[in-house]
């Protein structure tokens, strides 16, 4: 495996001040081990950077805390839709076994509830309703978890400025990248790459969009 003895900066385009130059989207800092990228991320956070992310071949323990990642809203969405499914299951099973609930005139007669007596069993036997209630709860929760995950992660993502970087392809193999976006209030096209190099980056690259 080839390593770089000295940090290098790789501007793939003209400087941001050049006429007609593309807008700087972010700077990528390349690291070859977990320890260095974790320490650099913590240092960047301590220096005031907030619009940043880490890309690695595998999950890194402690990186969420270093990035100050807030808890996702996904569990609450799943809980809310699970309770919705449970309530719908209770209503559905109770309604179909009932003939005394008021029915709007717009509801066809075929959809009116009716009592279904079997061997003298209680009309409103909640135990018999458990399978329907359970299945609707799980169905609402599962579909919400899947589709909300895609929406919250903005997937599928068919384009991203990082895709232009040849070095970034190694993020799925043996390299770790700390990306600091230009929309960060502390970002500077010259000082931010130097900051990453000071904290162990093998190379830095300005990404344009």
**Domain extents for the chain?**
22-70+161-208, 74-152
Per-residue pLDDT at 54 exceeds 50: yes
Q: State the pLDDT at residue 115.
A: 66
Q: State the pLDDT at residue 184.
A: 97
Domain 22-70+161-208, CATH among 2.60.120, 3.30.70, 3.10.10, 3.40.50: 3.30.70
Under the banding of pLDDT at 50, 70 and 90, the label for residue 100 is: low
Per-residue pLDDT at 183 exceeds 80: yes
Q: State the pLDDT at residue 113.
A: 65
pTM score, whole prediction: 0.75
The dihedral through the CA atoms of 17, 20, 26, 29 has a sign that is: negative
Q: State the pLDDT at residue 9.
A: 53
* Region of residue 7 (left: phi > 0; alpha: psi -120 to 50; beta: else): beta
Q: What is the mean pLDDT of the chain?
A: 87
Per-residue pLDDT at 121 exceeds 60: yes
Please tell me the distance from the alpha carbon of residue 111 to that of residue 113, in angstroms, as a whole number: 6
Q: State the pLDDT at residue 161.
A: 95
Q: In terms of pLDDT, which residue wins out, 2 or 138? A: 138
> Over the stretch 68-79, which tens digit does the pLDDT of each residue have?
999 999 999 999
Q: Which of 9-23, 47-61, 143-157, 174-188 has the lowest mean pLDDT?
A: 9-23
Per-residue pLDDT at 112 exceeds 80: no
Q: State the pLDDT at residue 2.
A: 41
Mean pLDDT for the stretch of residues 8-30: 67
20 contacts 208 by C-beta, under 8 angstroms = no
Residues 6+ apart with CB under 8 A from 108: none
Please tell me the distance from the alpha carbon of residue 200 to that of residue 195, in angstroms, as a whole number: 9
> Over the stretch 143-174, which tens digit does the pLDDT of each residue have?
999 999 999 999 999 999 999 999 999 999 99
Q: State the pLDDT at residue 22.
A: 80
């Amino acid at each position: 495996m080839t390593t770089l003895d000295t940090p290098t900066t790789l501007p793939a385009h003209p400087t941001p001040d050049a006429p007609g130059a593309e807008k700087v989207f972010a700077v990528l800092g390349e690291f070859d081990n977990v320890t260095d990228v974790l320490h650099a991320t913590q240092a960047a956070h301590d220096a005031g950077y907030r619009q940043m992310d880490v890309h690695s071949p595998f999950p890194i323990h402690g990186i969420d805390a270093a990035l100050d990642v807030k808890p996702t809203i996904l569990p609450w969405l799943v809980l809310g839709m699970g309770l919705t499914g449970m309530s719908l299951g209770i209503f559905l099973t109770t309604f179909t076994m009932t003939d005394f609930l008021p029915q709007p005139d717009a509801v066809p007669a075929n959809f009116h509830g009716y009592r279904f007596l079997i061997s003298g069993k209680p009309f409103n036997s909640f135990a018999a309703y458990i399978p329907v209630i359970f299945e609707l709860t799980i169905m609402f929760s599962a579909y919400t978890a899947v589709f909300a995950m895609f929406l919250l992660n903005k997937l599928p993502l068919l384009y991203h400025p990082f895709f232009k970087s040849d070095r970034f392809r190694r993020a799925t193999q043996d390299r770790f990248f700390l990306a600091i976006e230009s929309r960060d209030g502390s970002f500077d096209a010259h000082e931010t790459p130097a900051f990453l190099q000071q904290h162990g980056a093998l190379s830095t690259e300005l990404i344009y969009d």
